[in-house]
């Protein structure tokens, strides 16, 4: 292998941790030994120092601006991944174990979220797509909310199955909770419709170690003092995400990602436009392949972040993945639970990467169809 092949950046279709904007990586590289004006690396400074305080404040301010978070909501920077949120949500939002949490189980992630609820109260599955192998989302008429749930949870983008809600489910006055781990910042969202939004950072907003939680402030009153400090949203809110050492590097990267969205992309409307353009390219190849490619998701519920499909059989899938890797397009293997192919095309995936994949898909179908 030539040095060029070893060191050249590939098109990385990883589902997460995932591709980052090249300009963000370059800024990290240029500052990694010495932050301008600080004299140390961001990896070396105290989280209580004024220098880190400025970084935290900048990241939070930019996130609030880009995501248009209203004053009614607080933004928390936590650890433990989206996985810990699956437990923190019922632990904090259910006042006692007689309460119920409603869940839309639309894929592997919705299922995982719902699996924690029984530890704190009752689980009500308002709809499940398990019988259809999670290939579609519910219509409004199919959803059966319970009488008086403490909150209603859905997964805005099912990363493994490639399904994305294109509008919020309607639960009236019940606090709506969303796992936006794999599509936060991919499009504008009306945050005022939500009680709580959470997203781990390693898909669309930076690197692993950070989970962003956006919570409506009145819900903080539900958080019980019996909860351990780290599990209590109200404590994190009161301490401005500094109840303990926060994930400092990941917060720094989140700030750079938000700056990139603001200054290079031009905000979430523009980002959404680009994401639609990118995903349309791939779905068009699937739809025009005369049945060579089969998309997993019902067309109306297709994700603009994770494009999941198969070739005629597992052998062709494997060949596709192998030849794509030789052409410098990596990590296209579908999740182990589903097989097939998954192209994760998060915000930072450049249009050229998607164009290269679309063109590879056409060639592959022609030579193997």
Ligand X SMILES: *Cc1c(COP(=O)(O)O)cnc(C)c1O
233 is an interface residue for ligand X by CB under 6 A: no
Find the residue with minimal CB distance to ligand X. Answer: 81
Catalytic member of 60, 109, 183, 260: 109
Minimum distance from residue 191 beta carbon to ligand X (Å): 18
Judged by CB under 6 A, does residue 204 bind ligand X?
A: no
Residue 299, SS3 per DSSP? helix
170 is catalytic: no
Task: Look up residue 64 and give its two tokens.
Answer: 């609030």
Contact, 278 vs 351, CB < 8 A? Answer: yes
Site string for ligand X, 23-62 (x = CB under 6 A): ----------------------------------------
| DSSP states of 6-17 | HHS--EE--SSS
Q: Which stretch binds ligand X (CB under 6 A): 161-169, 179-187, 250-258, 259-267?
A: 179-187
| CA–CA distances in Å: residue 80 to residues 85, 230, 234, 240, 244 | 8, 10, 17, 17, 13
Question: Phi, psi at residue 129, to the nearest 5°?
Answer: -100, 10
The region of 27-35, 177-185, 232-240, 353-361 touching ligand X under the rule CB under 6 A is 177-185
Active-site hit among 179, 183, 301, 317: 179
Rounded distance between C-alpha atoms, residue 64 and residue 58, angstroms: 10
**Closest CB to ligand X among residues 83, 356:** 83
Stretch (H or E) spanning 127: strand 122-128
Question: Scanning residues 117 to 176, which ones bind ligand X (CB under 6 A)?
Answer: 155, 159
List alpha helices for the chain, DSSP H: 3-7, 22-31, 50-67, 81-93, 108-114, 233-238, 248-260, 268-287, 314-326, 351-368
How far is 275 from 186, CA to CA, in rounded Å?
7
The residue annotated as part of the active site, out of 127, 145, 183, 203, is: 203
> Is there a catalytic annotation at residue 127?
no
Asked about 109 being catalytic, the answer comes back as yes
Q: Which stretch binds ligand X (CB under 6 A): 76-84, 228-236, 242-250, 275-283?
A: 76-84
Nearer to ligand X, 81 or 188 (CB): 81
User: If we measure between CA atoms, which residue out of 275, 271, 255 comes closest to residue 344?
Assistant: 275
Is there binding between residue 17 and ligand X (CB under 6 A)? no
Give catalytic residue positions. 109, 179, 203
Instruction: Give me the residues that bind ligand X (CB under 6 A), please.
Output: 16, 81-83, 109, 155, 159, 179, 181-182, 200, 203
């Amino acid at each position: 292998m030539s040095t060029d092949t070893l060191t050249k950046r590939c098109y990385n279709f990883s589902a997460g941790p995932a591709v980052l904007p090249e300009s963000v990586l370059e800024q990290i590289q240029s500052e990694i030994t010495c932050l301008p004006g600080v004299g140390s690396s961001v990896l070396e400074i105290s989280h209580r120092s004024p220098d880190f305080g400025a970084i935290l404040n900048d990241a939070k301010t930019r996130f609030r601006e880009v995501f248009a978070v209203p004053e009614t909501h607080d933004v928390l920077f936590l650890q433990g991944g989206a996985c810990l949120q699956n437990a923190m949500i019922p632990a904090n939002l259910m006042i006692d174990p007689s309460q119920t949490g409603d869940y839309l189980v639309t894929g592997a992630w919705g299922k995982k979220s719902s699996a924690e609820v029984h530890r704190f109260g009752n689980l009500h599955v308002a709809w499940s797509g398990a019988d259809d192998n999670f290939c579609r989302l519910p219509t409004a008429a199919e959803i059966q909310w319970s009488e008086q749930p403490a909150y209603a949870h859905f997964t805005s983008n099912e990363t493994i199955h490639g399904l994305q809600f294109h509008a919020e489910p309607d639960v009236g006055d019940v606090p709506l909770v969303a796992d936006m781990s794999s599509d936060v910042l991919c499009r504008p969202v009306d945050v005022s419709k939500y009680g709580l939004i959470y997203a781990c950072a390693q898909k669309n907003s930076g690197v692993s170690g950070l989970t962003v939680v956006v919570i409506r402030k009145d819900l903080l009153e539900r958080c019980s003092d019996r909860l351990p400090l780290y599990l209590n949203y109200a404590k994190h809110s009161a301490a401005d995400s500094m109840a303990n050492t926060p994930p400092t590097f990941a917060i720094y990267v989140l700030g750079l990602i938000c700056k990139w969205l603001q200054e290079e992309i031009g905000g979430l409307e523009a980002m959404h436009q680009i994401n639609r353009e990118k995903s349309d390219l791939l779905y068009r190849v699937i739809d025009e392949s005369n049945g060579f490619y089969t998309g997993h998701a019902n067309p109306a519920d297709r994700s603009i972040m994770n494009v999941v499909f198969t070739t005629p059989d597992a052998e062709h899938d494997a060949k596709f993945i192998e030849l794509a890797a030789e052409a410098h397009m990596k990590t296209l293997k579908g999740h182990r639970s589903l097989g097939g192919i998954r192209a994760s095309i998060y915000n930072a995936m450049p249009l050229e990467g998607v164009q290269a994949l679309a063109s590879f898909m056409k060639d592959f179908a022609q030579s193997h169809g």
